[in-house]
Amino acid sequence: MTGQAASPVPVRVRAPGKVNLALCVDRLGDDGYHRVISVFQAVSLYEDVLASPADELSLTVAGLQAERVPTDATNLAWRAAELLAAHAGVEPAVALHIVKGVPTAGGMAGGSADAAAALVACDALWRTNLPREELAELAAELGSDVPFALVGHTAVGTGRGHEVTAAMTLGEYHWALGLRDEGLSTAAVYGAFDDAGGGAGDWDDEPPTDLMQALRAGDPAALGATLRNDLEEHAIALNPALAEAVRVARLAGALGVVVSGSGPTVAALGRSAQHALAIAAAMTAAGVVDDVATAVGGVPGARVVGGIGA
């Protein structure tokens, strides 16, 4: 066993959801995966994971769309606890409680945030004291978005999206998020992308130059003009109502609008916090979304906010 005896003190860890400023997707490879280049930005919608001492592994969920979240071994947070325990040579004895603030199946990586938070929380609770680099390796085994949830802020993901490098950015960015009660299956969206022959062009191993320049300059208007998601048209084909949310956000003066990840969350970039609120109000008034939120990016990745090390 790595580290000391487990702590009797519960640990609370907070991890952010994300929007994809760019999601560039290559054709399906022979290995069954797509190469992607994703520019992630962590935003201030959060998942909280409370890890408490227990005799065995258990999981409960509360908060936004909690009824849609599994509480068994199919949950990424559960899998994260099991993976860390096996790696560190400890018993997976922990009671995990998730408080959700990120939409489920919304393209904002709420499940990945849960997994990252569970890794950090269990590492603190069990005092396994793994370096962040080692946690990141475990995170990559759990899913392609999990390593970014550890890092946060703004970063570039390559490979399957799991190889994460921090991006140079200035300023903060204000988002209006159009949410839907019914999620979209990532597998279904990628399947539609493949069926349409997606990714058939030349592949560039670098993130979009104009987008990265906008981030380095701290220029929201330039960033808005360069938002990109190669899956967007396929997400809209599966859920045509998304097109109306995109249209309304643009009419409200958004600097740029993009479907986040595989959708169905529509992310609209505002000029300011007040403008983001106005865009959200326009989407609500038009009845094109089920709910709205506003958020700022980029915020830190998974971190302890209560208990040990807080």
Compute the C-alpha angle 83/18/160, nearest 5°: 55
Annotated binding residue 101? no
212 is in an annotated binding site: no
What phi-psi label fits residue 93: left (phi over 0), alpha (psi between -120 and 50 degrees) or beta? beta
Residue indicated by tokens 């839907």: 180
* Active-site pick, 18, 26, 100, 114: 18
The whole-angstrom separation of Cα 119 and Cα 116 is: 5
155 is in an annotated binding site: no
100 included as an active-site residue: no
284 is an annotated ligand-binding site residue: no
Which residues does residue 16 pair with via DSSP β-bridges, in sequence order?
A: 46
Task: Spot the catalytic one: 55, 145, 195, 230.
Answer: 145
Kindly report the CA angle at 21 between 16 and 26, in degrees rounded to 5?
110
**297 labelled ligand-binding:** no
Please state, in angstroms and rounded to a whole number, the distance separating the CA atoms of residues 247 and 198.
Answer: 24
Strand partners of residue 20: 40
Whether the CB-CB separation of 207 and 154 falls below 8 Å is answered with no
Active site residue 204: no
Annotated binding residues for ATP: 103-113
> Which residues are tagged catalytic?
18, 145
Annotated binding residues: 103-113
